[in-house]
Amino acid sequence: MPDRNDPYATQLANIEVRTGRSLAELARIVAESGLKKHGEIRDMLKQSLGMGHGDANVLIHHLQASSSPPAPASADAADDLYVGPKADLRPIHDALMTAIRAFGDFEVAPKKGYVSLRRKKQFAMIGPTTRTRVDLGINAKELVGDARLLAMPPGGMCQYQVRLTNASEVTADVVAWVRQAYEAAG
């Protein structure tokens, strides 16, 4: 019986019911097809088994995850962000995180191109956006600042942005803006 709190497990169980085949049987069908590309496998599952688009995608992801070795976990959520030409930007990130950790507890959620900092809600995001710049997004209302504090258009992920090109730019003002967002996210 799937865990009702795990929608992924529920969908896999429903795929077994809808197709009348176990996950092992479905894996065998996919393996015997000889297809390797995701789109080709998805189309085959839809045509030969009558699966829906979403079910076929979930099944393929499940089968690929179970057949490949797990990726090693990074020691730090930002390790994958600051590689290659962006490696020189890591000190900016580290300076921000050192200052923000002094505020208290919060969650660091890695995303594709940045890390999200959350309490009850996201209060900031940090990520390298070019080879020469780290952007600090701040979720706070009515911050007062100088020209470095850029107001973002309504409806975006953050209300403000600070563009940083050197760790020395992580000043008391920048930290105070993030602290205000941290406290409001509490």
Q: What is the pLDDT of residues 70-117, one digit of tens each?
A: 444 445 778 889 989 999 999 999 999 999 999 999 999 888 889 999
Q: What confidence tier does 4 reach under pLDDT thresholds 50, 70, 90? A: low
> Span 49-57, mean pLDDT?
90
Place of tokens 């069908």: 29
The larger pLDDT score, comparing residue 67 to residue 96, is at 96
Q: What confidence tier does 63 reach under pLDDT thresholds 50, 70, 90? A: confident
Is 60 exceeded by the pLDDT of residue 37?
yes
The larger pLDDT score, comparing residue 1 to residue 48, is at 48
| Distance (Å, whole) CA 130 – CA 156 | 19
pLDDT reported for residue 1:
47
Q: In terms of C-beta density within 10 A (0-12 exposed, 13-18 middle, 19 or more buried), how is residue 72 classed?
A: exposed
CA 20 to chain CA centroid, Å, is 34
Instruction: Specify which residues 127 forms β-bridges with.
Output: 135
Q: Specify the pTM.
A: 0.60
Q: What confidence tier does 67 reach under pLDDT thresholds 50, 70, 90? A: low
| Distance (Å, whole) CA 83 – CA 139 | 27
Cα–Cα–Cα angle for 182, 89, 128, rounded to 5 degrees: 60
pLDDT reported for residue 70:
45
Task: Return the beta strands (E) in the chain as ranges.
Answer: 107-110, 115-118, 122-128, 134-138, 150-151, 160-164
| Distance (Å, whole) CA 140 – CA 160 | 7
